[in-house]
């Protein structure tokens, strides 16, 4: 889909409402911290001044508020974020799905609660354009968050009469051709390393070609919502996240990190793919730090306790081809229709699936 609005927005809004009703029947509505993955990613940046060593950026992506993620859950997520004592908070788009009116007040109220030592920065995603991008930008502004879509924000540190810079740039939704990388490059100061926020991860191919960015942070894919066990990859890959759908990649000299995000779009299911809060710790090679050497890969600070709200491991093992996924979804819907608990893998539902 590359036009500004989905062809049948009203239909999609209806589907969203129907899915919300379904969610409320099967998902516990009280916030449960244990369902979230908290992932720490250490990124060594070659020209990072020691003044920025261990600079902490907490990333939230793909809230899709009003679907899987409720205001109550978002408040809980923000509480987790605020405990991290972040230097910066980076928001990478898709704050809502297809309906903004119902959640606009909650979105502004919750985002206003975010606390970062330096600044909170944001870019927009495709869904923000499909609803009301001007209003989303207004909400971000009212919440004290700076929209850096096609813009640059520079953080400075001073010590002993010396100033060091860290640049954070952003592009607007690339899936909808809203990005303006030329403008970003013009505005980017020559001094100091640069980080890119881009909702769609596959833009990494373009970002890395500039040779100017050490790290790009993205979302958009929701990790595919279904991750194949053992392979740590996904079969469902949407436009803009086909090449870099989940986790950490090396693209040229740049690190691309794609978060699994917080929400879901349309289907509330996440299989083997917990919602994620990502914590980036920037490392200066000039500082001797054991963490630099020992933890090159992302560290899961805490894995979600998926069984509480996600399907069981046995369910996951059935996800080896798209037909199985379709059967699974059909099975769960049938369980809900028959007032059965979809998280109990009872014999009746198994038999129903076998009959199909």
Residue 299 Cβ, how far from Fe ion at the closest point, in Å?
A: 26
Question: How far is 181 from 83, CA to CA, in rounded Å?
Answer: 34
Look up tokens 């099975």; give the residue: 331
- Judged by beta carbon, residue 62 or residue 151, the one nearer Fe ion is 62
- Judged by beta carbon, residue 52 or residue 226, the one nearer Fe ion is 226
Residue 198 Cβ, how far from Fe ion at the closest point, in Å?
A: 11
Residue 125 Cβ, how far from Fe ion at the closest point, in Å?
A: 4
Compute how many residues bind Fe ion; rule: CB under 5 A: 4
Task: Identify whether the C-beta of residue 276 lies closer than 8 Å to the C-beta of residue 247.
Answer: no
Which window, 123-131, 300-308, 310-318, 339-347, contacts Fe ion (CB under 5 A)? 123-131
Structure tokens at 290: 């054991």
Q: Which of residues 310-339 bind Fe ion (CB under 5 A)?
A: none
Site membership for Fe ion, residue 178 (CB under 5 A)? no
Residue 93 Cβ, how far from Fe ion at the closest point, in Å?
A: 6
Residue 199 Cβ, how far from Fe ion at the closest point, in Å?
A: 6
Task: Identify whether the C-beta of residue 201 lies closer than 8 Å to the C-beta of residue 256.
Answer: yes
- Judged by beta carbon, residue 42 or residue 225, the one nearer Fe ion is 225
Question: How far is 280 from 248, CA to CA, in rounded Å?
Answer: 12
Which window, 76-84, 92-100, 114-122, 324-332, contacts Fe ion (CB under 5 A)? 92-100
Of the residues 49, 87, 94, 128, which one makes contact with Fe ion according to CB under 5 A? 94
Pairing of strands 247-251, 254-258: antiparallel
Site membership for Fe ion, residue 126 (CB under 5 A)? yes
Site membership for Fe ion, residue 125 (CB under 5 A)? yes
For 304-309, which contacts have Cβ atoms below 8 Å and span 24 or more sequence positions?
304/34, 304/35, 304/36, 304/37, 304/274, 304/275, 305/34, 305/35, 306/35, 306/272, 306/274, 308/28, 308/32, 308/34, 308/35, 309/27, 309/28, 309/32, 309/35, 309/343
Q: Which of residues 193-222 bind Fe ion (CB under 5 A)?
A: 220
- Judged by beta carbon, residue 9 or residue 301, the one nearer Fe ion is 9
Q: Which of 203, 266, 199, 196 is nearest to 236 (CA)?
A: 266
Q: Name 36's Cβ contacts closer than 8 Å, sequence gap at least 6.
A: 77, 80, 274, 275, 276, 277, 302, 304
Question: How far is 220 from 252, CA to CA, in rounded Å?
Answer: 21
Q: Which of 71, 147, 76, 62 is nearest to 109 (CA)?
A: 71
Q: How many alpha carbons fall within 13 Å on the CB side of residue 243?
A: 13
Which window, 44-52, 63-71, 93-101, 210-218, contacts Fe ion (CB under 5 A)? 93-101
- Judged by beta carbon, residue 118 or residue 202, the one nearer Fe ion is 202
- Judged by beta carbon, residue 70 or residue 264, the one nearer Fe ion is 264
Which window, 32-40, 94-102, 189-197, 244-252, contacts Fe ion (CB under 5 A)? 94-102
Residue 200 Cβ, how far from Fe ion at the closest point, in Å?
A: 7
Q: Pattern 127-146, binding to Fe ion, x per CB under 5 A?
A: --------------------
- Judged by beta carbon, residue 148 or residue 188, the one nearer Fe ion is 148
- Judged by beta carbon, residue 94 or residue 118, the one nearer Fe ion is 94
- Judged by beta carbon, residue 40 or residue 200, the one nearer Fe ion is 200
Per-residue b or e along 343-356, where b marks 16 or more CB atoms closer than 10 Å to that residue's CB = beeeeebeebeeee
Residue 2 Cβ, how far from Fe ion at the closest point, in Å?
A: 13
Q: What is the CA radius of gyration of the chain?
A: 20
Residue ranges binding Fe ion (CB under 5 A): 94, 125-126, 220
């Amino acid at each position: 889909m590359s036009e500004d609005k989905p062809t049948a927005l009203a239909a999609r809004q209806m589907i969203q409402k129907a899915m919300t009703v379904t969610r409320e029947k099967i998902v516990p509505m009280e916030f449960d911290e244990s369902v979230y993955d908290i992932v720490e990613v250490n990124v060594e940046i070659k020209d990072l001044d020691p003044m920025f060593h261990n600079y902490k950026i907490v990333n939230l992506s793909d809230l899709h508020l009003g679907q899987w993620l409720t205001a109550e859950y978002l408040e809980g997520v923000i509480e987790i974020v605020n405990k991290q004592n972040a230097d910066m908070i980076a928001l990478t788009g898709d704050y809502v799905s297809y309906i903004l009116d119902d959640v606009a007040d909650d979105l502004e109220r919750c985002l206003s609660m975010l606390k970062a030592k330096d600044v909170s920065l944001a870019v927009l995603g495709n869904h923000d354009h499909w609803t009301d991008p001007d209003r989303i930008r207004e909400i971000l502004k009212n919440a004290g968050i700076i929209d850096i879509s096609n813009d640059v924000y520079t953080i400075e540190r001073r010590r002993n009469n010396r100033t060091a810079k860290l640049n954070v740039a952003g592009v607007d939704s690339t899936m909808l051709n809203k990005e303006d990388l030329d403008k970003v490059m013009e505005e980017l100061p020559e001094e100091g390393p640069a980080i890119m926020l881009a909702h769609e991860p596959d833009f990494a191919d373009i970002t890395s070609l500039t040779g100017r960015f050490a790290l790009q942070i993205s979302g958009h894919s929701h990790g595919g919502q279904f991750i194949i066990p053992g392979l740590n990859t996904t079969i469902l890959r949407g436009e803009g996240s086909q090449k870099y759908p989940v986790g950490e990649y090396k693209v040229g000299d740049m690190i691309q990190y794609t978060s699994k995000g917080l929400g879901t779009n349309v289907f509330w299911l996440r299989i083997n793919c917990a919602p994620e809060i990502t914590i980036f710790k920037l490392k200066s090679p000039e500082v001797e730090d054991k963490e630099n050497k020992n933890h090159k890969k992302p560290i899961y600070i805490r894995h979600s306790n998926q069984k509480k709200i996600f399907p069981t491991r046995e369910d996951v093992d059935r996800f080896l081809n798209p037909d199985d996924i379709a059967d699974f979804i059909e099975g769960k819907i049938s369980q809900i229709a028959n007032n059965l608990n979809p998280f109990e893998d009872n014999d009746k539902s198994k038999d129903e699936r076998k009959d199909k």
